[in-house]
Amino acid sequence: MNTQNTSLTEYTVWDRSVRIFHWVNVVSILCLIAIGVAILNAKALGVSTDGKVLLKTWHVYFGYIFVINLAWRLVWAFIGSEFARWKNILPLGSDYKKQMGHFLAARKENRPAYFLGHNPLARIMVLFLFLLLTTQAVTGLVLAGTDVYMPPFGSAMAEWVSEDKTRADEIKPYSKVNVNEASYKEMRAFRKPFISTHETVFYVLLLAIILHVLGVVYAELKEGNGIVSAMFTGKKVFPEKPMDLD
């Protein structure tokens, strides 16, 4: 902690791991959204079968980056720095209730409420985002196996639909070579709830991202403590000690 000027004090909040996660997450999600939209509109865009397979393959590649990055963040919430941990993320506990009361009182009086970590409303949004992202990660990995036979479930799916299990490596997306029609229909029926969930959460996630960005912009304008720059520098500035700092 060091003094920037006579009125603002600088505090470190986000460690390097949190900041790297955030920006890798942003880039991977933008890539997944772009490719996902292209896949959903493949027919209207005139994409060929081979082109659709290529799009889905790259969607999976970016999905792996997204999943590994998310998995590390979930682990880091147990072992990371103070404000990276679950206790300062989840909207639970007596401290959270106290902070929410302080936050609402400040909003009622039209004055800023200073928090070094996420403010109480942001913690609800962060939890919601983590649930949506985890759902997309799990369903996406299943779909990678059932659609283009990619890891971690691709081999098992290929064996499931194979006419000759010893030749499961011949199974390719959109090909009927060595495919047992009945088994293929069973596999696609198994896949159906995962694709439905994946597509529905996709739209919910888009809305949540928009709300998240609007919330960040509002907090930046209302409090002026560097909430955006903190995801680059790891630091915020305040005219008084934040409520959630011990």
Structure pTM?
A: 0.92
Q: Are 160 and 67 in contact (CB under 8 A)?
A: no
> What confidence score (pLDDT) does residue 6 get?
53
User: Could you give the number of structural domains in the chain?
Assistant: 1
The answer as to whether 32 is a domain residue is yes
Where residue 112 sits, what CATH number does that domain have?
1.20.950.20
- 181 lies in a domain? yes
Whether 134 is in a domain gets the answer yes
**What does the pLDDT profile of the chain (246 residues) look like in tens digits?**
444 445 889 999 999 999 999 999 999 999 999 999 999 999 999 999 999 999 999 999 999 999 999 999 999 999 999 999 999 999 999 999 999 999 999 989 988 889 999 999 999 999 999 999 999 999 999 999 999 999 999 999 999 999 999 999 999 999 999 999 999 999 999 999 999 999 999 999 999 999 999 999 988 888 888 999 999 999 999 999 999 987
Q: Is 241 part of a structural domain of the chain?
A: no
**What is residue 1's predicted lDDT score, i.e. its pLDDT?**
45
CA angle, 38 then 41 then 43, to 5°: 120
> Is there a domain that residue 245 lies in?
no
pLDDT at residue 7, rounded to an integer: 83
Does residue 246 lie within any of the structural domains?
no
CB 85 within 8 A of CB 118: no
Q: Mind giving me the DSSP string for 93-117?
A: SHHHHHHHHHHHHHHHTT-----SS
Q: In which region does residue 172 sit, left (phi positive, over 0), alpha (psi from -120 to 50) or beta (all else)? A: beta
pLDDT, residue 222, reads: 82
The answer to whether residue 108 sits within a structural domain is yes
Per the structure, the complete domain to which residue 186 belongs is given by 2-236
On whether residue 243 sits in a domain, the answer given is no
Token readout for 180 is 């047992």
pLDDT of residue 2: 44
* Torsion sign, CA atoms 162, 62, 117, 215: negative
